[in-house]
Structures are given as C-alpha cells and as structure tokens.
Amino acid sequence: MTEFDPRLGPLPDQDHDHDVLLIAGSRPEVARLAPVATAFGNVDRIRALTVATGPDPMAVHEAFEALGVPADITMLLREPPDPYPAATAAALMSRLDGLLVDLDPSAVMVNGGGMTAVVAAQVAFWRQIPIVHLQAGVASDDLLCPFPQEANRRVIGQLASLFLTTDGSALGNTTGPNTIAVGDTMAANPQPADLRFARLVRSVRAGGPRVVLVGLDRADSLGVLAGLPDLLEREPDIHVVLFGELAAHGVAHPLALHNRATVVRSLPLAELVGLIAASTVLVSDNPELVADAPGLGTPAVLVDGPHVPQPGDSIRSIHSPAVMITIRQLLATRSTTTIEPSDGLEAARVEQAVAWMFGLCPSPVFTSPFPTNTDV
C-alpha cells in the first residue's frame, strides 16, 4: 500500500510531459479504470497514476491488485468511517484537494457517477485541472434513478473537458468534438480464467441464458439456497451461479447436479466483477457486494440486509421468504442482458482520446490497431 506523502519526494518515472490521475472510489470504478491504466502504460506517452480512495479505500486498493494493476496511491481517510454521505464527501474533498496540490497533474479521470467521482471532479475544477469523464452522459432521463449516481453524472458533465462514452451518446453533456465513443473499458479486463465462466459470459453476449448470480455466506440464507432448484424449473432460460460459504452446504448438492447451474466455493474478484456485469440479477447476503452491483449495471437483491431504499434505487432489501418472488419479478421485467460486442480496444481508445486532448496526436481515434508513442 502506498499512502502518498509529499515529504518522501515525487513519485518515480517523471519522464513524461503529461500525467493523469485515475481516481477510483469503488470496485466498479476500478473495473473500468484498471484497463485504462494498462493502456497508458503500454503506449507510454502519458503517465497514468491510479488512486485508490473513497469511503472504503482498502477495498478499492485490493480491487486494483486483483485486476493486475496495483494502486500507485492509496489515499486513506484520516477520519473514521461515517454513515452519512455528507461527512464522507467532506473528508474526501479535503484529502483530494491536498493530493491535487501536491501532484499538480495535467488531468484527472473519473468514471461514472459515484460520490468519489463527483467530489474529485469538483476539486479538480476548482484547481483548474482538466477533467476526463469516462462513462460520460446520463444513464436515464430520471434524475433520481439511479440515485444519487444520475445526478452526480450530470454535475460532472458540467465540469468535464473530455467526455468518453460507451455508445456514442452523452445526453445532458456538451456534444461535439470533445465527446468520443470508446466503448465499455471493463471489456478490456482479463477474461475469466475458469473456462466455465468464460464460456458462460460468451454465451450471454451471444444472446444466451440469463444469469442469476447468487452469493450466500450466512446460515440464515439457507431458505434462499433451497429455493434455487425450483427457480431453475420455473425459468427454463436462466443459468444459476452459486458461490460463497453455503456453496459447500448439503442443501446445495441438488443444485450442483443441475445442468444449468454452476456451484463454486469462491470467486476471484477479477472474475466476479465480470459475472456481475453479465448477470440479469445478483442475489447476496453481502451488503458490500450488493452495493457494487448497480455500478456494474445489474440490479441486486440484498437478503435480510439493512439497506434503506432510496428514490430510484436498484437495490432491494428482502427478507429470505420473499426472495424468490422478488427474483421472479425481476426476471419477468428484464430481458436478456445486453452486452455490447468488444474488440478489446476500449482502453486503447481512451488513451488515444486523452493524448489527442494534450495535442500529442492529430486525431482522437486511432487508425492503426494499436497506438504507439510515435503516433503524433
């Protein structure tokens, strides 16, 4: 872990004219920024520094490591965790402002509409540092859905200099030459090492089964586990993936024998984020995991959890007996998960767009398969 301290001197590798801070405050943000850091390193014309921070900076730090891109800076909050968002945002604002003053980067990049993203964008704007918004544009026309991410996206959209979108549109943002479609950079993460999950994700992308991802660790979630075989019988187009401590319970044995179910004790984070994004719904008794799901585009059901619903929330907190009813309701309203085809160059397109912003290349879109530091 690297907790940045300016008294220790500058970070290594200063032989670049421009540097960008990739600031992540959650695991979904890491899933999209980690491939970008790799792309910057491969081309080596702009220095990218990954920053792990947010309400739980160590979880973000571990996510960077799990995705093969160790965090360059892990910025801990001096204050203990606070349940109120305003207090956490205030602590983040002060620490991020100090970081920007110490490093004076050429730009900062944020993803989506989380708390850390909107705070980092505001602080960078006050310091007159250009902001690159990955996954720019509104996700819907409802300011309260998802809450508060949609409103945060719109705030960032008023401050950013470069808008990088997944599909070419950036509703609510300035359109024109500074809006560039790059695709979803999460697709540039390493593919699942387990061939079962690699095949399942490919099948979903090809319009195959809908995936119900279930992560259960607590004994009081056994009722949910016992209902999964019946769910498979009622929904012939779904595939259930069960992981967690209860995957080793005897009640899970009938599920393990089903040809449309996969049962594993644990999932590496690098594979887990991809499976969440490919799933139609996530069901779990782990609040942190459920909180990550909306950022990956998947509605979540928190089993017997303490979650307090917010306007437009895509997290549902359900008591165990009612979980199966809720899952069936979600399946009835959600079609097969749409995953855009990937050419594996999403992160490279981000690097090219930023290089163009700095005047290092003539076009924001590269014409050769892989840009190099000689493409000027």
Whether the per-residue pLDDT at 270 is higher than 80: the answer is: yes
Q: Which residue has 């069901």 as its token pair?
A: 283
Q: Is 280 left (phi over 0), alpha (psi -120 to 50) or beta?
A: alpha
Indicate the pTM of the whole model.
Answer: 0.87
Residues 6+ apart with CB under 8 A from 51: 21, 22, 23, 24, 71, 72, 73, 74, 75, 99
d(CA 99, CA 120): 10
The CATH code that applies to domain 6-184+341-357 is 3.40.50.2000
Q: Which residue has 């704007």 as its token pair?
A: 125
Residue 110 token pair: 């944020």
According to CATH, the topology of domain 195-333 is: Rossmann fold (3.40.50)
Q: Which residue has 């549109």 as its token pair?
A: 169
Band of the pLDDT at 137, cuts 50, 70, 90?
Answer: low
Q: What is the model's pLDDT at position 370?
A: 54
Per CATH, 6-184+341-357 and 195-333 having the same topology is answered yes
Q: What is the mean pLDDT of the chain?
A: 86
d(CA 37, CA 42): 9
Residue 376 token pair: 């000027």
* 258 CB burial (10 A radius; 0-12, 13-18, 19+): middle
Residue 217 token pair: 């660790």
Q: Name the DSSP class of 312.
A: T
Q: How far is CA 50 from CA 62, 105, 186, 345, in A?
A: 12, 12, 16, 20
The residue-averaged pLDDT of 257-271 equals: 93
Whether the per-residue pLDDT at 241 is higher than 70: the answer is: yes
Structural domain spans, the chain: 6-184+341-357, 195-333
Whether the per-residue pLDDT at 10 is higher than 60: the answer is: no
